[in-house]
A and B are shown apart, each in its own frame.
Chain A
């Protein structure tokens, strides 16, 4: 039998249900695993061992009363920008280093009610701005497959923790690819839901019209379990959509014969896709063909403008959202201010890291007098064109198959001095956020150097089910998701 920390959520659930293990045993195994490999990976910002054990004890009591649900007693990690009552929530920023939320995010209320056990808060790029987790104010998280490489970002801590068995599953957030890209780089599953599917109440805002919370998981079934737990309308998030949530797990076993998969001409022709990624995506297409899917070439003609539109819209929203960090209500305040203006400026310059300041500057510029029409409005119009591309495509296909990132995980430090190069690596993921559609990343192969490569499946609005079902059928037909990074056993 594999070690308890190596279990998927559904495997651990089966053992808990049969009373072959206890939730406390499972949680202790995961906490021991965290202690053993955290010095190598640096995934966690805060480990909540004491609370985890007492939550596991409560889960065991519930189980002994016969109350067991899919997440009862399951140890999960949470990205450190999701508010957790009584547990500090730093956004990997000096600004919020000592911020302890007085309330839970809606997704935490749901996970707690579902009986889940939180093992701690995991690392990320500061305020979710980045593609490598190198922008954390606290630590650099390492890719479990190659410790000299980045785990991707911004949910790099979530992805690395799942890949290194330092939790059974995790929550992340995705504003421009921040769940899907690290999932791809770490060889795990990640899903960005449709905008409005999951409540953003208690998610620290980066770009409010793009942010979504979603799961990172060891396999598709686990991702579906987590989606079942966190999806749904919330009156506290006016942008969450009041629409029925299907039973995602129940829908996984549906047949995908006759499913039409679109291949975007523009993605295929895109320069900069590494041969490793192209080979893996072509291999995935063959698997789907054997499963009875059919393929159609589609066109997303505005793809080449997505990076430019995104890097105006997201910074503009961030500039506004991050105005709240002024040293007054919570967070860091610079010492001995000479007056209010001095306090604002020195607080923000000392509290925010370079990438966050760069994006605030970019966003402020794009919204400033005389530039609004040329930049922000223009980008918002291009956003309409990008959404229309997808609406048109989904008239002739059910889902779209695409790469997640142009290359496998890159070495730590490679792109850190060139922000534009880092932004361009988001080319395949940004469009889904601009359009609002769901996107799933699942392992589909390995590079010549043994690094995981993910495929991206994009779906129509609120059709997470077809993405999960197609990826589940793929997973059943292959054994790619079973390969693990080589870390010391214990």
Chain B
């Protein structure tokens, strides 16, 4: 299946990626090749087949509702690009 550069740009926006114009053409070609290949799946009739989202059949896993210690707040923010007093600093969101 062919995928247009406009579609690639749309998906890039959804994925929060900035793709420059030169890369758009290359990605459209590469994704088109891969999508053409995966369409071999359409040769299979899968009507009525349950999808598998997990290899092992596990249902809900619960634990006792008991509080346990969590990560120290300063340790949790220590890897942040910008942090202050245990808070993450981000660019201004609302103008």
Interfacial residues, chain A to chain B (CB-CB below 8 A): 98-100, 102-103, 194-196, 209-210, 235, 238-239, 241, 302, 304-305, 307-309, 311-312, 319, 323, 326-333, 337-346, 348-349, 352, 357-358, 360-362, 364-365, 368, 375, 377-385, 387, 419-420, 423, 433-436, 461
Contact = CB atoms under 8 A, between A and B. Distances in A.
> Do most interface residues of chain B lie in helix, strand or loop, or is the interface mixed?
loop
Given A102-B71, A348-B16, A385-B46, A305 B40 contact: yes
Question: Which size bracket describes the interface of B in this complex?
Answer: 35 or more
Contact of A308 (B37, B50, B52, B76): B37
A385 B44 contact: yes
Nearest to B3: A365
B51 to A, nearest CB: 3
**Residue picked from B34, B50, B78, B82, most chain A C-beta under 10 Å:** B34
A365 B77 CA distance: 32
B81 A331 contact: yes
A295 B38 CA distance: 33
Contacts of B30: 358, 419-420
Nearest to B63: A235
A458 to B, nearest CB: 14
Contact of B91 (A100, A343, A352, A382): A343
A357 B52 CA distance: 26
Interface string B48-74: 011111111010010100000001100
Contacts of B81: 327-328, 330-333
B88 A328 contact: yes
Nearest to A342: B91
A345 B71 contact: no
B53 A209 contact: yes
Contacts of B50: 381, 384
Closest 8 CB pairs of A and B: A436-B55, A380-B51, A333-B81, A330-B79, A381-B46, A195-B55, A238-B61, A102-B75
Contacts of A352: 17
Given A377-B51, A381-B51, A305 B79 contact: no
Given A327-B81, A332-B81, A311 B58 contact: no
9 contacts: A102-B75, A308-B41, A311-B37, A328-B90, A333-B82, A364-B11, A380-B52, A382-B41, A461-B56
B93 interface: yes
Contacts of B12: 361
A420 B37 CA distance: 8
Contacts of B41: 305, 308-309, 312, 378-379, 382
Given A308-B37, A311-B38, A99 B58 contact: no
B84 interface: no
Given A330-B80, A380-B52, A384-B51, A349 B40 contact: no
Contact of A348 (B17, B39, B92): B17
A380 B44 CA distance: 13
Nearest to A369: B14
Given A345-B18, A381-B49, 13 more contacts: A100-B78, A102-B76, A327-B81, A358-B27, A358-B31, A361-B12, A361-B17, A361-B31, A364-B15, A384-B49, A385-B49, A419-B33, A434-B55
B37 A435 contact: no
A339 B52 contact: no
B16 A326 contact: yes
Contacts of A357: 17, 19
A319 B63 CA distance: 29
B38 A312 contact: yes
Contacts of B19: 349, 357
Nearest to B79: A330
A349 B18 contact: yes
Contact of B51 (A194, A342, A383): A383
B61 A102 contact: no
B95 to A, nearest CB: 8
Contact of B56 (A196, A330, A360, A423): A196
Contacts of A304: 40
A209 B14 contact: no
Nearest to A437: B55
A382 B46 contact: yes
Given A319-B15, A331-B79, A387 B52 contact: yes
Contacts of A326: 16
B24 to A, nearest CB: 11
Given A326-B16, A382-B46, A387-B52, A420 B33 contact: yes
Contacts of A364: 11, 14-15
B73 to A, nearest CB: 11
Interface in B1-33: 3, 7-8, 11-12, 14-19, 27, 30-31, 33
B46 A361 contact: no
B92 to A, nearest CB: 7
B57 to A, nearest CB: 9
B86 to A, nearest CB: 12
B38 A343 contact: no
A327 B88 CA distance: 10
A99 B79 contact: yes
A419 B34 contact: yes
